[in-house]
Amino acid sequence: MFIHDVCTALDNAGVMYAIVGGYAVSLHGAIRGTVDVDVAIQWSLKNLLLAEKALKQMGLVSRIPINAENLFRCRDEYIRERNLIAWNFYDPRNLTKQVDLIVNYDVENIQNTKLVQTVSGQVRILSIDCLIKMKEMSGRPQDLADVEALKSL
């Protein structure tokens, strides 16, 4: 399972992260379809470099011509002037394997995450309260629908 492969790669690299987005919504118990794996990290240059390296070692490539160091240095500019909310990595041989590294959210500490057992192994997801807050801040229609689904659990 691709999500487990992503989590294993990030765990092995020592990245402080959490799965967010559609997979996190589903793993909390709400019905939600998604294709890509959305990952938020604890925002630091070290963590971003480790995440980039781990994803590249999986054979994933960046969709845009930036690197971790540049993104870390110019994060606010990319968000404000280029509307960048996620750094996309994909497998050029299998386009269903995609990871969005969330740029405009910071997993502040491990207490904001939860380990969930799947058929393939453990997956670290953002806690339901933090996930709701993150999605409310986004304000996008799908995120607001996710908030309603999560609150109804």
pLDDT digits (tens, 9 = 90+) for 2-49: 999 999 999 999 999 999 999 999 999 998 888 899 999 999 999 999
**Predicted local distance difference test score (pLDDT) of residue 149:** 96
> Region 57-71: what's the mean pLDDT?
97
**Predicted local distance difference test score (pLDDT) of residue 136:** 96
**Predicted local distance difference test score (pLDDT) of residue 48:** 98
Name the residue with tokens 């908030």: 147
The dihedral of CA 20, 21, 27, 30: what is its sign? positive
Ordered domains of the chain (ranges, CATH): 2-144 (3.30.460.40)
**Predicted local distance difference test score (pLDDT) of residue 10:** 98
Which contacts (CB < 8 Å, 24+ apart) does range 90-96 have?
90/60, 90/61, 90/63, 91/58, 91/59, 91/60, 91/61, 92/61, 93/59, 96/2, 96/35
**Predicted local distance difference test score (pLDDT) of residue 131:** 97
**Predicted local distance difference test score (pLDDT) of residue 35:** 87
**Predicted local distance difference test score (pLDDT) of residue 31:** 86
Q: What is the pLDDT of residues 86-143, one digit of tens each?
A: 999 999 999 999 999 999 999 988 889 999 999 999 999 999 999 999 999 999 999 9
